[in-house]
Amino acid sequence: MALIWQPKLLFSPLLVTTFCLLVNLVSSRTRPFTPPTVTPFTNSFPRVPIDRAFSNAFGASNVNLLSNGTIATLALDKLSGSGLVSQSGYYYGFFSAAIKLPAGLSSGVVVAFYLSNADKFPHNHDEIDIELLGHDKRNDWVIQTNVYANGSVSTGREEKFYFWFDPTKEYHYYSILWNSYHTVFLVDNIPVREFKQGSVYPSKPMSVYATIWDGSEWATHGGKYPVDYKYAPFVVSFSEMELAGCNTDPSSQCSKSTTSSSGLDPVNGPQFTKLSQQQMAALDWARRKLMFYSYCADKNRFKVMPPECH
């Protein structure tokens, strides 16, 4: 769960007004940004049928499978959220979904596409998160990325970004690349964050989750804008799922060699172990234009910065 960084404003009223105008500009629905061109990772891996690759995790009555199992809608209402979990666990891989978010007032609603092994390692788990947050009363969504490693849940590694598009009007790709070199978070194939392998790094096989739930207590400026259920149900749609990793099923050849040196690892090629110059330029663009919170800049929260921040 993320904390919102709110630095002390030691500026003149004119500068404060200018700052607020800039924030409103970048967080509006009509952003003036054109994303860079990148080679899409999503073209490198096959799509999987949702009805065969996933099972119900919770809120089964709010889960609907459409188009012969290629699309899943998940709903949040007063009674329950809902979620799916992959039938297999994975050690490294590329995991992606095309997601269309709920339209209208969605403050407090959290849509998540993430990897976790908390069910198998409750006291020492790993997690790689893409969380899409209904953020405030402007009907605006933001994306939060986070990494937990080996039970390091006391140190969230959140970074938050605005979108350069309206994520409720059509499907957009949200992807995670995870291997022994780095973890890369991508939106429409644009890298927005690279978390490099280090002393704190996810190291155990994980399942893939797709969920929608009520995050009122933390997702909206510390609970300032809770979910308003008069607008329920909130429905998110998932499609074009890609789960390309070392399957941990005992019958899988890839699971017998859980090292990145295995030729069976689908994300061990040179295009996956290091970002290209094109991708690095896109990463720089996203972080300059769209990022509005990084735990590595939150000196109020951390008296001593986590080691990877250096």
Domain boundaries of the chain, sorted by first residue: 35-248+266-309
Quote the CA–CA distance of 108 and 86 in Å, as a whole number. Answer: 25
Cα-Cα-Cα-Cα dihedral sign, residues 103, 107, 113, 119: negative
As averages over each run of 10 residues, the pLDDT of the chain (310 residues) reads: 37 39 44 88 97 97 97 98 97 97 94 96 93 82 94 83 95 97 98 94 95 90 87 97 89 56 77 96 97 94 88
Quote the CA–CA distance of 241 and 96 in Å, as a whole number. Answer: 6
Report residue 214 as tokens: 């009520």
Quote the CA–CA distance of 176 and 102 in Å, as a whole number. Answer: 22
| Cβ(225)–Cβ(31) below 8 Å | no
Quote the CA–CA distance of 299 and 289 in Å, as a whole number. Answer: 22
| Cβ(95)–Cβ(176) below 8 Å | yes
From the DSSP assignment, how many helices (H) and strands (E) are in the chain?
5, 15
308 catalytically annotated: no
Quote the CA–CA distance of 194 and 282 in Å, as a whole number. Answer: 12
Count other Cβ atoms within 10 Å, centred on residue 194.
18
Beta bridge partners of 93: 178, 245
| Cβ(74)–Cβ(235) below 8 Å | yes
- pLDDT at residue 253, rounded to an integer: 66
CATH no. of 35-248+266-309: 2.60.120.200
- pLDDT at residue 222, rounded to an integer: 77
Find the catalytic residue in 131, 158, 194, 242: 131
